[in-house]
Amino acid sequence: MELMQGLLTRRSVRRYQNKPIPKPVIEEIIKAAQYSPTAHNRQPWEFLVIEDKEFMAELRHIQRWTSFAKDAACVVIVCGDVEKSFSRFKEDETWSFIDVDCAIATQSLLLAAWAKGIGSCYCGAAPMQRVVDALRTRLNLPKNIRPFAIVPLGYPDETPKQPDDRYKPERIHWIEKVGKD
């Protein structure tokens, strides 16, 4: 699929066929996510591929807007490693690019899946602390691993409507010269 076409046609898919996704296809999708840009090129991520239907059904109790995840072929939990991310934790400076890096990887994952005819939906975990904690506990993750996003994957069983109001030229601000005052 051509990149521009993929960017314009990807939509959240929440209904899936009862059909498994071959492991090499999932690997290729995650490979694409791993080519995403990251702050200082730290690549501070881990990807959990979960095919456990019981857990997938349980997810809605952890994150309430994931009820459809139970019907997916699998769920990818995109995680960040806080120890690997580009960050500063000093008295006068506290910041981390971890969520930014994970968000970009998640978008790449959605697009790579779409390019392979697979539907997905970005479901947020971080920065909802309760969800992050619940996932970390349930999946027995070490403290440095921050569950960032929950991404159900599956062959689409719906064709979501393409929006016709996304492009808003008025949100583009052309600045020829920046004034000094």
Ligand X SMILES: Cc1cc2nc3c(=O)[nH]c(=O)nc-3n(C[C@H](O)[C@H](O)[C@H](O)COP(=O)(O)O)c2cc1C
Nearer to ligand X, 26 or 131 (CB): 131
* CA–CA gap between residue 22 and residue 154 (Å, rounded): 11
Nearer to ligand X, 85 or 106 (CB): 106
SS (H, E, C) 72-109: CCEEEEEEEECCCCCEEECCCCEEECHHHHHHHHHHHH
Q: Indicate the DSSP class of residue 164.
A: S
Structure tokens at 77: 């939990």
CB of 34 closer than 8 Å to CB of 104:
no
Nearer to ligand X, 11 or 146 (CB): 11
CB of 75 closer than 8 Å to CB of 153:
yes
CB of 78 closer than 8 Å to CB of 148:
yes
Q: How far is the CB of 144 from ligand X (least distance, A)?
A: 22
Q: How far is the CB of 170 from ligand X (least distance, A)?
A: 20
Q: How far is the CB of 150 from ligand X (least distance, A)?
A: 7
Q: How far is the CB of 171 from ligand X (least distance, A)?
A: 16
Q: How far is the CB of 121 from ligand X (least distance, A)?
A: 5
Which residue's entry shows tokens 């960017």? 7
Site residues, ligand X (CB under 6 A): 11-12, 14, 63, 65-66, 121-124, 160
CB of 118 closer than 8 Å to CB of 155:
yes
